[in-house]
Amino acid sequence: IRNAALDGSTLSVLGTLPNLETVHVRSSPGMTGEQLSFLAKCPKLRHLVLSKCEKLTSAGLKWLLDIKELRTLVLDENNQLTARVLELAGYNKQLKYLSLSGCEWVMNKQLEDISEFFSELEFLNVVDTKCTGVGLSTLAGLKGLQQLWVDSHAVSKDDIAKFSKAIEPRDVVIVRVDR
């Protein structure tokens, strides 16, 4: 669903699809979390992408508590969300892929929350956030982390070297993105 002006009743039809596994919503400025609450009725939902949806709020996404099989959550460029959304999604202990790129509310404290809530995480994208190299150390507890994307202007090569030493003997691919 892209650049869509759909109402809740139109979207709720998707909630009747018992095998729905993937929902991708991007650049839908009028889309609210409440309009997407039908997704809590989709028992096989595994991949959820809600990017650049300016009206999404953490309160409107409380239905995330009911999605138990979620493996992928992308909330890129949603600056009206708060750290509360991590707590809501954190009830899903099977999440493997989390992307918060372009979310200005994501800071080093949220890296601590991510480490606490998502113990099975394999991929994390915090490019274009307020996370710095100081916060990387809190991710050392993510034993399954395989790939980490960070900003090159906020995380130095020295920061990455310290993080790599802290997680030895594991190997994590760290991608420093230049913007």
SS3 177: strand
Q: How confident is the model at residue 2 (pLDDT cuts 50, 70, 90)?
A: low
147-151, strands of its sheet edge to edge: 22-26, 47-51, 72-74, 97-99, 123-125, 147-151, 173-177
Q: How confident is the model at residue 168 (pLDDT cuts 50, 70, 90)?
A: confident
Average pLDDT over residues 135-154: 92
Report the C-alpha gap between 19 and 12 in whole angstroms.
14
CA nearest 153: which of 130, 136, 135?
130
For 4, 51, 62, 86, 89, the CA distances from 37, given in Å and listed in that order, are: 17, 16, 8, 17, 14
pLDDT value, residue 8 = 59
Say yes or no to pLDDT of 152 above 70: yes
pTM of the model: 0.91
pLDDT tens-digit readout, 28-69: 878 888 888 888 888 899 999 999 998 899 999 999 988 889
Report the C-alpha gap between 131 and 173 in whole angstroms.
17
pLDDT tens-digit readout, 70-85: 999 999 999 999 999 9
pLDDT tens-digit readout, 104-116: 999 999 999 999 9
Number of CB atoms found within 10 A of residue 75's CB: 25
Q: Is there a contact between 175 and 147 (Cβ–Cβ < 8 Å)?
A: yes
